[in-house]
Amino acid sequence: MSTERMGVETLESSVALIIPLFNEEEVLPLLVGELESFKRARKEIIQVIFVDDGSSDGTVREVIRLTNGISGYELVRFSRNFGHQMAISAGIRRCKADAAIILDADLQDPLDVAGKMLDKWKEGFDVVFGIRSLRTQVPAAQRLTAHVFYRLFGKLTDVDAPVDTGDFRLISRAVIEAFNQFEEQQPYVRGLIAWLGFKQVGIPYERPGRAAGDTKYPFRRRFKLAMDALTSFSTKPLKMAINLGLLIASGSFAGLIWVVLTKYVLGTAITGWASLIFAAFFFGGIQLFFLGIVGTYVARVYEEVKRRPRFVIQDVWESGKKGDSDGSKAINER
């Protein structure tokens, strides 16, 4: 329960941090160090939920080594890599606290901003998201594609999603409960949270570069996320074919009249094999393009109707628990 509602400053409300991990062994010592000082400064943080998204490096071993003697860490281990959005969804499911803050492992989502999110939550906001203001340390090409994507998303969907925000955000208990009702196979977490509504506010911050290691989001994954986002929130691409089809049909009808007129009125037939063949290719291309769009939506429907489990949790390990002091039971030496 929030301190504000109780009107008692000393009563702490509980907050969990949800941090997805995919091959993050390099950044973990730094991260746990920062988390420990953050926990000391903000007593509301009662738990850190790490979700290991099928790492193939020493991530699991590092988490256990670094947090074994300390209480308040939970490590949820997926049976394989299910993706960042799934790791976040699993973390939210496991959260029992009054609020959760979702952040990346690489310290690109600064903890002092997380502290500001806590303050906003105490003022009564349900969702506090970080707005990436300058992002000076993020590669220019990535900044540009992100910039274009967020604006395109805004144009194509009816969701009032804030631009230039990632998944770095605080969500209240009410939002957690609502979010847990989603069962989408390819969730676009930030869009779903925007869709939920509630009292939302943004905090601008400058996004630093990765503290250690390389990005786990190569262009291919980034593109997939963008496609998931657009296809799960908009059906406008499906309808684009109607307008374009009408435009081309009416244009070619005018062209046809012109051809007939030149032949019978002016008495000259237009020749040109090249123009014909390229027109055929052009329209073939457009048709395949839209067939692909339709296919994308059909594939999504197919994924949904199978109703497979969205992720598989192999095991859960808790730090500071008796009877497993060396963490050997959970770790299985990967």
Minimum CB–partner distance for residue 220 and ligand UDP (Å): 11
Question: Considering the rule CB under 6 A, would residue 191 count as an interface residue with ligand UDP?
Answer: no
Report helix, strand and coil shares of the chain as percent, to nearest 5.
Answer: 50, 15, 35
CA distance 71 to 106: 22
C-beta of 25 vs 36, nearer to ligand UDP:
25
Q: Nearer Cβ to Mg ion, position 212 or 293?
A: 212
> Of residues 26, 53, 126, 228, which one binds ligand UDP by CB under 6 A?
53
Q: Which residues of this chain interact with Mg ion, rule CB under 5 A?
A: 104, 106, 108
With CB under 6 A as the contact rule, the residue among 83, 91, 130, 202 that binds ligand UDP is 83
Question: What does 297 interact with, of ligand UDP, Mg ion, none (CB < 5 to 8 A by kind)?
Answer: none
Residue 44 binds to ligand UDP (criterion: CB under 6 A): no
* 217 sits near ligand UDP (criterion: CB under 6 A): yes
Q: Is 22 in the site for ligand UDP (CB under 6 A)?
A: yes
Q: By C-beta, is 102 or 331 nearer to Mg ion?
A: 102
Q: Is 109 in the site for ligand UDP (CB under 6 A)?
A: no
Cβ distance 24 to 81 under 8 Å?
no
Neighbours of 60 (CB within 10 A): 24
For ligand UDP (CB under 6 A), the number of binding residues is 16
Q: Which residues make Cβ contacts (< 8 Å) with residue 2, sequence separation at least 6?
A: 13, 98, 121, 122, 124
Question: Would you give the end-to-end CA distance of the chain in angstroms?
Answer: 40
Buried b (16+ CB within 10 A) or exposed e, 11-32: eebbbbbbbbbbbbbbbbeebb
